[in-house]
Amino acid sequence: MKRFAYTLFCMAAFTTSAMAQANSDTLRVVESNVSRVGEDVIVDMKLDLSHIEVGRNRTLVYRPLLMKEDSVAELTPIIVNGRVRHIQYQRLERAEDFPNEIEIRRENGTEQTLDYHARVPFTDWMNKSEVVMVCDLCGCGWESLQNDRSSLFPVNLIHEPVVPAVLYITPLAEVKVREKSGSAYLDFPVNQTVIRPDYRRNSTELAAIDATIQSVEDDPNATITKVTIKGYASPEGSYANNQRLAEGRSNALLEYVKKLHDFGDAEFSVSSEPEDWEGLEKRIESSSIADKEEWLAIIRDSEPADLDRKEWKLKQLPTYREVLNTIYPALRHSDYTVEYHIRNFTTDEAREMLYKDPSQLSLEEMYRVAQTYEVGSESYNEVFEIAVRLYPDDPISNLNAANTALLNRNATAARRYLTKAAEGPEKRLAEGVASWLEGDTDQARSIFESLTDDPKVGVQAKENLEKMD
């Protein structure tokens, strides 16, 4: 139980000797605990009677009460008797008539304590109340000659959990580079490199490329900085001819999109892969063809170095025609990437963008938005949750998300985020808090003590040690 040092004074004014005695009749509450259990309130106190002097024919009655303004709940009274009154109490069998009171004989001049326990039905006003004590000095007829009321300690049944101290990392401002990419499966007449939009499914493939570029151009916050195209051909035919086709078709696609869009000062990069052997290997590996292992053995064999010779060996396999018709077409593709920059936002703009298109925000901009909310509030927490979803592998977003989880007392989620957080005192501090929440106070204390002199997290480590005491 939590220790207190409250002192109760019982006053009497009927005689000078009684008054002198009453001034020395003090009762001390050295421990106390008030808690709600189900529909009841439990009051436990350890009372020190050591300084009380009770005359042999005198009685002190202590009446603990739960009070708040005009609301009162009586607790079990305490009867402290002198030697003669204690005998009379027993002879009158008062304990049988008043079973809900505690009687004790005071052994004057000795150290004496009483473990007090009482239970009363709970009502809402008790959440924020106080325990008071009314002390009666009784005469020989058990009537109250004088009483005094003392406030003991406040009662708070609505326990606010201890909030651990953590340290968020402020992300650095950055140039926001974004990109959109895709793959186009264009059809060309045999040995030709000229794009024909109306040829086979080309209209659909070209429309997809156009839509990707247009979506960036339509964004007022974006500026295209680079367009990259890489063309691939299948291993069918000679390597030299495939190299010509891959290069020519990549350049043809670039010229096509440049005619449709104004890229300003954007940079362009065009490259090609004459034969997509890597793509062939992946698709064969995931296929269910009968002679898969033979295909993979030939593809992976470093000999012969002559790729035309390797292609000839593939042609000898019984499933070559099947693969030529079902897998080779997918190897003839042009991969494209549109790289662009997003302008920087003010804090107000970033707050609006957070729920409109958070992908346009940097971690630094989201952090600034979080600082406009109360720490630990729903809006504050939500910002860091959005940040870690958008940047799932970023060390800073994971450290900050872990801190948010810790403030929500979710050590399990915090541990998951901390696996991706960068090593450092901030992460170590968070690990200490996680151990604390998990109940491993020895480990938590050890971590905090190791960080007390750290210039970054020393203040937070000391604060947590104080809160743990």
* Continuous segment of H or E residues that includes residue 113: strand 113-121
By CB atoms closer than 10 A (0-12, 13-18, 19+), residue 221 is: middle
* pLDDT score of 317 more than 50: yes
Which whole-number Å values give the CA distances from 266 to 46, 164, 258, in the listed order? 80, 50, 11
By the 8 A CB rule, do 197 and 356 touch?
Answer: no
pLDDT tens profile 322-331? 999 999 988 9
Q: Which of 150-154, 202-206, 247-251, 271-275 has the lowest mean pLDDT?
A: 150-154
* Continuous segment of H or E residues that includes residue 117: strand 113-121
Task: Say how many C-beta atoms besides its own lie within 10 A of residue 439's C-beta.
Answer: 10
pLDDT tens profile 57-71? 888 888 899 999 999
- Cα 447 to Cα 449: distance, rounded to the nearest angstrom: 5
- Residue scoring higher pLDDT (161 or 220): 220
pLDDT tens profile 43-62? 999 999 998 888 888 888 88
Query: What's the N-to-C CA distance of the chain in angstroms?
Result: 13
Amino acid at the residue 209: I
By the 8 A CB rule, do 106 and 80 touch?
Answer: yes
Stated pTM of the model: 0.64
Task: Concatenate the DSSP letters of all residues of 324-354 into one string.
Answer: HHHTHHHHS-EEEEEEEEE----HHHHHHHH
Secondary structure of residue 165 in the 3-state scheme: coil
Q: Omega before 274 cis (within 30°)?
A: no
Quote the pLDDT of residue 262: 92
Quote the pLDDT of residue 64: 92
| β strands within 157-300, DSSP E | 176-184, 222-232, 267-273
- Cα 448 to Cα 286: distance, rounded to the nearest angstrom: 51
β-sheet bridge partners, residue 6: 29
- Cα 257 to Cα 210: distance, rounded to the nearest angstrom: 7
DSSP conformational letter for 276: -
- Residue scoring higher pLDDT (159 or 200): 200
Q: Omega before 455 cis (within 30°)?
A: no
* Continuous segment of H or E residues that includes residue 300: helix 292-300
